[in-house]
């Protein structure tokens, strides 16, 4: 006790030296203060001990309650475990009973699940879905039910599946017109009357349409086939009765897509490049010249034929002009007459042989230009091979197309121009032959009269 008092006194002396000087004027006063502090500390400690004993009793009560709840929970767990085991055994028994009762029905549902999946793929890609959308949602739900063991399809769902199959089979044999939203080539969505030809093609007044299964949209083809096919599509879209000639794609778009990949005549000519255009220009010039010569020589030949039947010379044709020269030289000797007739025939030759040489040159130059385009195209092809290798044939297609197209253009121009040149040249030579024949006859007649 003395030790405790001494310790408290030291603490008080260290902590509050100034206060001790102010309030405690003697040792008795200081001793009294220490005694008062010791009494208050004892009271505080007794209060703390009482609080601790009360809390200890309370903790014991809580511990007892917790142990009681633990025993109740363990008992509940044992009951639930027993119930779970009993239910597990019951599930096994019920499952075996279900399997026995289902029997061959399980095979039926398995086949039905396969049919449902196949039907969904068929209907999603069928053109009839453009007219009857949202059929795949029911098939997806039915397929999910068949895939799970917790639910079985109802009679109504099985009948609806059969109805969808029957509907698809029936609709693919019909030609039906129905309104639908169509995305035009400019991207604008329009309400149009669409004609479905079975399960093969969809057309509108603008031409062939394309159905996109992923989005369910109808859109016009970015590139339509040739005019004769689009005309039949327009006629079919506008028809209300009767029969219409129409180009059907039995492969449901594959042949049409392949056909659209083929370049048109203008695109094919453009593949020939500059050389191809030069060949076409020469061909047009040669064709026009040949036609002009053919028409002119035909008219001249008819006039010469008419002059042969008429004894009176007419200056409107070569033979008449030659005969007029013969009449003018009626008093000349045979040699002079022969020279004058030869001179008259030579004057007619330029008119009869005009442009024939140029036509012949075109017939020779056109295949040479085609050969030039072939060589140029092969150079382009080998340059592409050098830069990019042979991995992508499309990189070589441009040069090969130019080589082949120019060759074809050259031969296409040369063959008809050669034929026309032969025909025109033959008619020119025929007229010249008549002139020479008549001139020789006149000279022979004059020579006989002179002898």
In a domain, 389, yes or no: yes
Q: Which residue has the tokens 């949202």?
A: 134
Alpha-carbon span 320 to 309, nearest angstrom: 11
Same domain, residue pair 339 and 256: no
Alpha-carbon span 209 to 201, nearest angstrom: 8
Task: Work out whether strand 207-212 and strand 189-197 pair parallel, antiparallel, or are unpaired.
Answer: unpaired
CA angle 205, 207, 211 (to 5 degrees): 110
Three-class secondary structure of residue 154 per DSSP: coil
What backbone phi and psi angles, to 5 degrees, belong to 374? Answer: -60, -45
The model's pTM is: 0.54
Write down which residue in 77, 98, 120 finishes a domain: 77
In a domain, 131, yes or no: no
In a domain, 69, yes or no: yes
Bridge partners of 218, per DSSP, are 182, 211
Same domain, residue pair 186 and 249: yes
In a domain, 98, yes or no: no
pLDDT at 21: 43
Same domain, residue pair 239 and 329: no
CA angle 306, 309, 312 (to 5 degrees): 90
Write down which residue in 199, 228, 261 finishes a domain: 261
Structure-block tokens of residue 402: 């130019």
In a domain, 143, yes or no: no
**Helices and strands in the chain: count of H runs, count of E runs:** 14, 5
CA angle 316, 317, 320 (to 5 degrees): 95
Q: For residue 318, give its domain range.
A: 273-450
**What distance lies between CA 325 and its chain's CA centroid?**
76
Same domain, residue pair 10 and 32: yes
Same domain, residue pair 231 and 308: no
Same domain, residue pair 406 and 294: yes
Write down which residue in 11, 43, 77 finishes a domain: 77
Q: Are 319 and 307 a contacting pair, CB within 8 Å? A: yes
C-alpha pair distances (Å), 119 with each of 107, 126, 143:
18, 10, 10
In a domain, 84, yes or no: no
In a domain, 365, yes or no: yes
Same domain, residue pair 301 and 383: yes
Helix (H) or strand (E) holding 196: strand 189-197
Alpha-carbon span 314 to 308, nearest angstrom: 11
pLDDT at 289: 92
Same domain, residue pair 432 and 298: yes
Same domain, residue pair 251 and 303: no
Same domain, residue pair 305 and 435: yes
DSSP 390-440: TS-THHHHHHHHHHHHHHHHHHHHHHHHHHHHHHHHHHHHHHHHHHHHHHH
Q: Are 318 and 352 a contacting pair, CB within 8 Å? A: yes
Same domain, residue pair 206 and 301: no
Q: Is residue 306 exposed (0-12), middle (13-18) or buried (19+ Cβ within 10 Å)?
A: middle
Alpha-carbon span 358 to 390, nearest angstrom: 44
Structure-block tokens of residue 115: 């049919």
Q: Are 384 and 396 a contacting pair, CB within 8 Å? A: yes
The total number of structural domains in the chain stands at: 3
Same domain, residue pair 291 and 420: yes
Structure-block tokens of residue 389: 């290798």
Q: Are 409 and 272 a contacting pair, CB within 8 Å? A: yes
Q: At what angle do helices 334-353 and 394-450 cross, to 10 degrees?
A: 160
User: What is the dihedral sign for C-alpha 138, 141, 147, 148?
Assistant: negative
Q: Which ranges of the chain have pLDDT less than 50? A: 1-24, 451
Three-class secondary structure of residue 33 per DSSP: helix
Structure-block tokens of residue 374: 């072939």
pLDDT at 291: 93
Q: Are 263 and 397 a contacting pair, CB within 8 Å? A: no
């Amino acid at each position: 006790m003395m030790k405790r008092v001494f310790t408290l006194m030291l603490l008080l002396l260290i902590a509050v030296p100034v206060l001790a000087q102010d309030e405690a004027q003697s040792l008795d006063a200081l001793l009294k203060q220490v005694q008062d502090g010791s009494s208050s500390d004892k009271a505080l400690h007794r209060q703390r001990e009482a609080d601790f004993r009360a809390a200890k009793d309370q903790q014991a009560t809580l511990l007892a309650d917790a142990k009681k709840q633990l025993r109740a929970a363990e008992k509940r767990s044992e009951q639930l475990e027993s119930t779970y085991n009993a239910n597990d055994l019951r599930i096994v028994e019920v499952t075996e009973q279900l399997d026995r009762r289902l029997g061959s029905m399980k095979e039926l549902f398995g086949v039905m699940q396969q049919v449902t999946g196949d039907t969904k793929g068929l209907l999603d890609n069928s053109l009839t879905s453009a007219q009857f959308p949202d059929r795949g949602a029911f098939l997806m739900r039915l397929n999910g039910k068949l895939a799970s063991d917790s639910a079985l399809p109802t009679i109504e769902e099985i009948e609806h599946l059969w109805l969808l199959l029957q509907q698809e089979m029936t609709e693919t044999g019909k030609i039906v017109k129905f309104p639908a939203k169509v995305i035009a080539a400019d991207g604008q969505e329009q309400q149009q009357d669409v004609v479905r030809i079975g399960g093969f093609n969809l057309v509108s007044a603008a031409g062939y349409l394309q159905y996109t299964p992923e989005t369910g949209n109808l859109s016009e083809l970015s590139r339509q086939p040739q005019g004769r096919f689009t005309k039949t599509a327009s006629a079919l879209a506008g028809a209300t009765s009767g029969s219409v000639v129409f180009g059907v794609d039995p492969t449901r778009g594959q042949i049409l897509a392949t056909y659209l990949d083929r370049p048109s005549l203008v695109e094919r000519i453009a593949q020939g490049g500059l050389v191809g255009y030069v060949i076409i220009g020469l061909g047009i010039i040669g064709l026009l010249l040949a036609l002009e010569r053919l028409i002119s020589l035909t008219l001249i030949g008819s006039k010469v034929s008419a002059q042969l039947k008429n004894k009176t010379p007419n200056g409107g044709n070569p033979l008449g002009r030659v005969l007029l020269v013969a009449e003018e030289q009626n008093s000349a000797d045979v040699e002079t007459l022969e020279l004058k007739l030869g001179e008259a025939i030579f004057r007619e030759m330029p008119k009869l042989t005009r442009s024939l040489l140029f036509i012949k040159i075109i017939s020779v130059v056109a295949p040479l230009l085609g050969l030039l385009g072939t060589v140029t195209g092969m150079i382009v092809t080998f340059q592409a091979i050098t830069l990019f290798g042979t991995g992508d044939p499309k990189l070589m297609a441009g040069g090969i197309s130019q080589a082949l197209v120019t060759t074809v253009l050259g031969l296409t121009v040369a063959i008809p121009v050669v034929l026309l040149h032969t025909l025109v040249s033959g008619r020119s030579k025929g007229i010249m032959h008549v002139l020479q024949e008549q001139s020789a006859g006149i000279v022979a007649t004059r020579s006989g009269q002179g002898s």
